[in-house]
Amino acid sequence: MEFINLIPNICEGLPFEKGDLVLLNFWGDNEDIEILELISETLSKKGVISFRQQCSKRFLEKVILNFARNNNHISKEYFEFLSSFKNIVDIFMYPPSLPEGILEEEIPMFRKNIGELFNALVSNKKYYIQLNIPTEANASTAGIEYEIYRHLLLNALAVDYKELKEACRDKIERIKEAKSIEIFTGEEYSLKLDISGRHWYADDGCGDFPSGEVYIAPIESGSNGELFVPQIIFNGQIYKNVHMTFIEGRLVKCSAEPLEKFLFSLPDNHRILCEFGIGLNPRIKELTGHSLFDEKALGTYHIALGMNNLFGGRNECRFHMDFVFSSEKVIFK
């Protein structure tokens, strides 16, 4: 199975309709431009017109870096133009990084310009969608061996999106009136979440690929109790049977000491329980310990710490970390 052969199926999963305008932002080089062109071509068959922008390594090294070297801000009109698009698909052959040869004193301005670029792409959108291509660079960023990453991603992307959308819609319909959630894990642990007034979201092709979850932002001060997570991979190390304790929405204890030390080195709002999600992708059948895939697996649940202001919450930060688990008993009240 090759990624390029899955593009028609992936485009079926995208939420755009006839007459929509979409910005396809491509973090990739000319050698891979066919991917961008095929996505644009496939969307056009649905009556969707796309505007294409290529953020290649050369663009970063020869354009963005020039602004940094001259201590110049990129034109406000450029960012306003990008902000005007309400539908974005961000396509990653690789994550953006500092260009080779950049000087220490150039880094702040470079990062500022890249930050403004990301903000223009992400903020105040109807749809902001991330599509990672199965490349060695993306596998390395995810901390997964390339062949494993490629297999897992291609398999997950081959899901029947019509069936997935129906499954997500049906799940939300059954639980949308609930004001609280109680999660039972391990032999004795219980975690209660206050979700009153919050809205459920479906990631069925309109969020991050691979798709396959429904999720909600709990009240930031309303999570109390304990959670048992069978496996967490952190900094390349596997931690099993992890016990996490929450009081008034914040993590106060984690039995995996290196992870606890890391989390407590971060600002306080990075430890807020910000998300509860339910995995619904039937193509993901094996749990690997990597939340990128595990959180979408049918039959799993996950919580997250950190940012939730982009999906109905009030906690704004640049940190988001997921923890996946199973449970035989989750009560929605």
**b/e code 200-210 from CB counts within 10 Å (16+ = b):** bbbbbbbbbbb
The per-residue pLDDT for 287 is 81
The model's confidence at residue 73, banded by pLDDT at 50, 70 and 90, is confident
The per-residue pLDDT for 139 is 96
pLDDT tens per residue, range 247-262: 999 999 999 999 999 9
For residue 176, pLDDT beyond 80? yes
The model's confidence at residue 288, banded by pLDDT at 50, 70 and 90, is confident
**b/e code 95-128 from CB counts within 10 Å (16+ = b):** eeeebeebeeebeebbeebbebbeebbeeeeebb
For residue 303, pLDDT beyond 90? yes
The model's confidence at residue 289, banded by pLDDT at 50, 70 and 90, is confident
Contact of 300 with 287, CB cutoff 8 Å? yes
Contact of 270 with 318, CB cutoff 8 Å? no
Amino acid at 168: C
Percent of the chain with pLDDT over 70: 100
For residue 286, pLDDT beyond 80? no
The model's confidence at residue 71, banded by pLDDT at 50, 70 and 90, is confident
Q: Which of 13-17, 26-30, 141-145 has the lowest mean pLDDT?
A: 141-145
Q: Which CATH number fits domain 3-133: 1.10.3720.10, 3.40.1830.10, 3.40.50.300, 3.40.50.720?
A: 3.40.1830.10
Distance CA 113, CA 109 (A): 6
For residue 94, pLDDT beyond 90? yes
Contact of 1 with 10, CB cutoff 8 Å? no
Contact of 181 with 330, CB cutoff 8 Å? yes
The model's confidence at residue 72, banded by pLDDT at 50, 70 and 90, is confident
The model's confidence at residue 183, banded by pLDDT at 50, 70 and 90, is very high
> For all residues of the chain together, what is the average pLDDT?
96
pLDDT tens per residue, range 52-63: 999 999 999 999
The pTM of this model reads: 0.91
The per-residue pLDDT for 222 is 98
Q: Where are the domains of the chain?
A: 3-133, 162-332
